[in-house]
Amino acid sequence: MNVLEALKARKSTRAFLDKPVARECIVRILEVARHAPSGGNAQPWQVAVVSGEKKEALARATEAAFRQDGVSGMDYNYYPLEWQEPYKGRRIACGIQLYESLHIGRKDKARRLEQWVANYRAFDAPVVLFFFLDNSLEKGSYLDFGMFLQSVMLAAVEEGLATCPQAALGQFAPLVKEALGYGPGTVLLCGMALGYEDKDAAVNSYRTPREEVESFTRFFS
């Protein structure tokens, strides 16, 4: 698969087969992704690969924390506190698409909640990756990290694997850092579900739309 094909094939996957991912496969993905560029070649990425009982225990703890107190403890604001257009509308449309794929009605709060909670189990993917950044670093390193994350996802496509980057997995940073031994000097950026796509799952059946190039590009000469 070439890069263009991989860019188009990558999508957020929210249901996975109950099939383990070989450690060598994950290492191959990270060996490629580490070639991502970073300002000053700082390479700010730190990755925790979590599977098996450790993953299950963390998912249980996160889900319990959410059900008890709601969301608390993200190290940074991933989303704006108040959404403005056109981003607000796009975000709502994205949610509608997700729920429609699962035939969850607009007023079905219970099923919506359960679909959200599935985030904390990384949608039952066999592997979850957590991404950390040293908090002495600045916004530039967030840019670098984004390139690393996309590199991980494209390399996963090449390995026949599917991913879902998840800000939701950054919502309980103290709990995750404590469980995995990362100190308060680190920022938990997000998590990522990794596994083999369940191609029969309805939730994986839709693709999100994109704006046309002309809408976000201006040419000057």
Query: Which spans of this chain sit near ligand FMN (rule: CB under 6 A)?
Result: 11-12, 14, 94, 119, 164-168, 190, 208
Of 155 and 168, the one with the shorter C-beta distance to ligand FMN is 168
Residue 50 pairs with which residues in a beta bridge? 128
Q: How far is the CB of 200 from ligand FMN (least distance, A)?
A: 18
Of 23 and 79, the one with the shorter C-beta distance to ligand FMN is 79
Of 51 and 204, the one with the shorter C-beta distance to ligand FMN is 204
Please give the Cα distance from 180 to 76 (Å, whole number).
Answer: 19
Q: How far is the CB of 152 from ligand FMN (least distance, A)?
A: 11
The order of strands in the sheet holding 127-134 is 46-51, 127-134, 186-195, 162-166
In degrees and rounded to multiples of 5, residue 128 shows phi and psi of -125, 135
For residue 194, count other CB atoms closer than 10 A to its CB: 28
Of 151, 144, 128, 150, nearest in space to 32 by CA: 151
Q: How far is the CB of 74 from ligand FMN (least distance, A)?
A: 11
Q: How far is the CB of 33 from ligand FMN (least distance, A)?
A: 15
Of 116 and 182, the one with the shorter C-beta distance to ligand FMN is 116
